[in-house]
Amino acid sequence: MKSMFAAASLAAICLSALPAASAVRYEVRDVKTDFQTDERALFTRPVAVTHTGEAVYVMDADYNEISVFGKDGRFIKAFGRKGAGPVEFNAPSAMDIVEDNLYICDTINGRIQIVGKGGAYRGGFPVPFDPQQICVLGEDRIVLSHIPMGFDGREPMIHCYSGSGELLWEALDSYYTGDRVYDAFRNFLVLVHTGGDSVSVVRKSDERVILRFDSEGRALSPVRVSEEYAFKKLTIPVKGPRKHLQGFCWDATAGRGMIGLLTMDYTPEKDLGPGRSVHLIDFAGKVEGVIEFPSLMLKVDLDGDRIYAIDAEYRLRVFSWGKP
């Protein structure tokens, strides 16, 4: 299993307490029960999973392909291939869905592609960086992020474009010390659509304050996640004095009016990898609930009483969830 922090070494145990006893403990149950034998639900590098009212979409960065499944996990079709033409990708990294269109970070090609839910090309535009995350607040408010290369000091990491590719606003300067390895770890983040015209920015390490912006780039009230949600500490093997990271979350999602943080956990190799629970955070920063999974999860997408997830074996899982 690959880890975000490969080559780093374990330094300490959790820094914070477990969630309060008052947090609701949710249980999950497999809806898709043939995940172990369904070859179409097995991927090599799944980087995104999302849904519409009718279907679930999984993007694989090695296949350069998007697979479409029914809400029960039944395979429907796939589209995309490696290349630089329409509906061709080169190591895509993220996607979002608004109405009838998929918006895709075509990362190595340095562009955003807009593709219909059935796979028809709808347009796109180039960007002057490798896009990593995307959150679409409307067809003319496409919010992107990138990870700076670390050559030129601080630079904005959040960028909002119109549907025609016009840069509208930027926000959130990168963390910069001059140590490119350490700075890259510090600058990993996730964009989450948290309702209406707002996007939340969740850093994966060293920061428990979740920033929020509206579609015009105005800062909204941030969410300071309670100390009951645990950091995990890691030592990064860089030159010079030892540097540490406090792992915050592996990934993030949203559902039922809350932000879902997919936890990190320590691996047998003494690294940090994905965990097996999602902590549901309200906009006051309190841990309202914890969703426990039967195994490690890489990606999680919340949808009402369903959860679409990619497990550590790179398989699509479909769960129902609720109180015990």
Q: What is the pLDDT of residue 269?
A: 82
Domain at 9-322: CATH code: 2.120.10.30
Tell me how many degrees the CA angle 116-63-48 measures, rounded to the nearest 5. 60
Q: Which residue has the tokens 């949600």?
A: 229
Domain spans of the chain, in order of start: 9-322
Residue 141 has pLDDT above 70, yes or no: yes
Query: Three-state SS string across the chain, please?
Result: CCCCCCCCEECCCCCCCCCCCCCEEEEEEECCCCCCCCHHHECCCEEEEEECCCEEEEEECCCCEEEEEECCCCEEEEECEECCCCCEECCCCEEEEECCEEEEEECCCCEEEEEECCCCEEEEEECCCCCCEEEEEECCEEEEECCCCCCCCCCEEEEEECCCCCEEEEEEECCCCCCHHHHHHHCCEEEEECCCCEEEEEECECCCEEEEEECCCCECCCEECCCCCCCEEEEECCCCCCEEEEECCCEEEEECCEEEEEEEEECCCCCEEEEEEEEEECCCCCEEEEEECCCCEEEEEEECCEEEEEECCCEEEEEEEECC
Distance separating alpha carbons of residues 125 and 18, to the nearest angstrom: 44
Determine contact, residues 61/93, Cβ cutoff 8 Å: yes
| Mean per-residue pLDDT, 242-268 | 92
Q: What is the pLDDT of residue 242?
A: 74
Residue 219 has pLDDT above 90, yes or no: yes
Residue 11 has pLDDT above 50, yes or no: no
* First-residue to last-residue Cα distance in the chain: 30
Determine contact, residues 261/281, Cβ cutoff 8 Å: yes
Q: Which residue has the tokens 């406090």?
A: 246
Cβ contacts of residue 164 below 8 Å, gap of 6+? 125
Cβ contacts of residue 203 below 8 Å, gap of 6+? 186, 188, 189, 248
Residue 241 — pLDDT band, cuts 50, 70, 90?
Answer: confident
Closest CA to 252 of 322, 310, 203: 203
Q: What is the pLDDT of residue 20?
A: 55
pTM across the whole model: 0.91
Q: Regarding predicted confidence, which is higher, 242 or 170?
A: 170
Distance separating alpha carbons of residues 181 and 144, to the nearest angstrom: 22
| Mean per-residue pLDDT, 191-204 | 94
Q: Per this entry, what is the length of the chain?
A: 324
Residue 6 has pLDDT above 70, yes or no: no
